[in-house]
Amino acid sequence: MDISGASAIVTGGASGIGAAVVRRLADRGARVVVADLQDDAGRALAEEVGGVFIHVDVTDTEQITTAVEAAEELAPLRVLVNSAGIGWAQRTVGRDGSFDSAHDLDAYKKVIAINLIGTFDATRLAATAMSRTEPLESGERGAICNIASVAAFDGQIGQAAYSSSKGGIVGMTLPVARDLAAIGVRVNTVAPGLIDTPIYGEGEAAEQFKAKLGESVNFPKRLGRPDELASMVVECLTNSYMNGETVRVDGAIRMPPK
């Protein structure tokens, strides 16, 4: 699918994997809406790629709708990348055996609300807009790519909330792809392994920690680069026969229990 001249939305697009995707899409000629909570970083990136920044909390349907409408004003909306998400780590049961020390239920709900429900909300709204566009010669109207995680398959101790949210994204990929086949919109998911993003911090200690983490990767023995993930995202979006699939991009790592 040719995305040149189309508009694209990237949630969580101001940093990390999302920012790498924004740059890749812009290089392919797309007009990109950077949808994120990070106003300064989002505006700077949008200016860099000739796109538009929209402040978006993916738990707010109205803000997602605003981003979709902004994209429609730029060009026909044909691309959505769901990259917004948060992490959380806590054991299901606390050490002291009290109910109060059990996993924070509000935290669990928040992770699900952002990572899973936010992904579905953006999908249903962007796909609705795509359904109104003229199909390309191939019959396609657009493509959606979600960012999950290998935690959907190899969830570690303490990752109940995060793995639930990412597993939900994997689980909805095929049924949503089947739903959207009626309007000519494809849906795929990319599941990253250990990726070098700002979440690990900066400085010598952070670099040593990342190097240690990289030793657990089968090959190459390092963290993945955001652009390597972005490359796979763009392939999922532009390869017209890629549909309903989840692809791990992880250096063949299989996460241990902890």
The answer to whether 17 touches 147, Cβ cutoff 8 Å, is yes
Beta bridge partners of 242: none
Distance, CA of 187 to chain centre: 12
Please tell me whether residue 67 adopts helix, strand or coil conformation. Answer: helix
Q: Between the CA of residue 219 and those of 197, 214, 237, 246, 249, what are the distances in Å? A: 19, 9, 26, 20, 11
DSSP 176: H
* Angle between helix 160-180 and 118-131 (nearest 10): 20
Dihedral angle of Cα 39, 196, 71, 140, to the nearest 10 degrees = -170
User: In whole angstroms, what is the distance from residue 51 CA to residue 41 CA?
Assistant: 13
162 is a catalytic site residue = yes
Kindly report whether the peptide bond that precedes residue 220 is cis, defined as omega within 30 degrees of 0: yes
Name the active-site residue from 108, 162, 200, 241: 162
Residues labelled as active-site residues: 162
